[in-house]
Structure 1
Amino acid sequence: MYRLVYMSTPRRPLSGEELTGILAAATKNNDRNGITGILIQDQKRFLQYLEGDQGRVEQTFARISMDPRHHAIFRLKSGLIVRRQFPGWSMASKTVDHSASLTSAVRELVKGCDRDVAEELLSFAAARDRAT
């Protein structure tokens, strides 16, 4: 099992309809490719965790990297993992108000994760919160 975590910035604010479309496409593609994970968005950043077959996860990340709605895409972490952290979610999603804490949103979504993964995702979110 392989995981990849990245953060990106939308080129412009996305409407609720656009975000719904992104989530629907991600869910469909991830179901087809055996990928699970989470996507958290706050109008300033996307934080996404993808897990599954390494080749398919990397292909998904390459496709996301080419999406013109994103820029400043940073791979935060990738590598092998022992088990899926989000086995029931082809793409769990949380949209956070731009003034809200990303850390709070991540805390809700990582309750069932291994401790090290939860701490890592919370650390990424806290760094983003400090930067805003």
Structure 2
Amino acid sequence: MYRLVYMSTPKRSLSSAELSTILAAATKNNDRNEITGILIQDRKRFLQYLEGDQDKVEETFARIAMDPRHHAIFRLKSGLIGRRQFPGWSMASKTVNESRSLTDVVKELVKDCDREVAEELLNFAEARDRAV
């Protein structure tokens, strides 16, 4: 199993309707490509974790990188893992609002993940929270 984690910045603020459209397209594409993962956004950044066949995950990331709604796309981590961390989610999505930190949201999502993966995602979230 292969995973890829990235962060990106939307070029402009996206409406709830636009975010729903993005999520619907991601879910459809991920179902077709047997990719699972999570998408977290706080209106300033996206944090996405994708897992599945390496070629399909890399193709998905390349498509995302070409999306004109994003810029400053940074691959945070990629490589092999022992098992799917989010097997039931073709694309789980959470929005972070002012009352919760990114770290709090990630803690909820990674409770069933392998320790190494959970720690990586929490480290990314904590670094982002410190930067805000």
* Whole-angstrom distance in 2 between the partners of 1:98 and 1:50: 26
Whether the aligned pair in 2 keeps the contact of 1:43 and 1:98 (CA below 8 Å) is no
* Whole-angstrom distance in 1 between the partners of 2:80 and 2:69: 28
Shift of residue 100, structure 1, vs aligned partner: 3.2
* Whole-angstrom distance in 2 between the partners of 1:75 and 1:24: 23
* Whole-angstrom distance in 1 between the partners of 2:64 and 2:36: 15
Match of 1:96 in 2: 96
Q: Provide Cα deviations, 1:57-84, integer angstroms capped at 9, x if missing partner.
A: 0000000000011000000000011100
Match of 1:124 in 2: 124
What amino acid sits opposite 1:10 in the alignment? P
1:78 has 2:60 as partner: no
1:31 has 2:26 as partner: no
Whether the aligned pair in 2 keeps the contact of 1:5 and 1:49 (CA below 8 Å) is yes
What amino acid sits opposite 2:112 in the alignment? G
Q: Name the SS for the 1:76 alignment partner.
A: strand
* Whole-angstrom distance in 1 between the partners of 2:26 and 2:101: 24
Shift of residue 99, structure 1, vs aligned partner: 6.0
CA-based RMSD of the aligned residues comes to 0.8
Change (3 A) 1:28 1:52: same
**TM-score for the superposition, normalised by structure 1:** 0.98
* Whole-angstrom distance in 2 between the partners of 1:54 and 1:93: 22
Shift of residue 26, structure 1, vs aligned partner: 0.3
Whether the aligned pair in 2 keeps the contact of 1:38 and 1:49 (CA below 8 Å) is yes
4+ aligned runs moved over 2 Å, structure 1: none
1:106 has 2:123 as partner: no
What amino acid sits opposite 2:19 in the alignment? L
* Whole-angstrom distance in 2 between the partners of 1:63 and 1:109: 25
Q: How many residues align?
A: 132
**TM-score for the superposition, normalised by structure 2:** 0.98
Unaligned runs of 5+ in 2: none
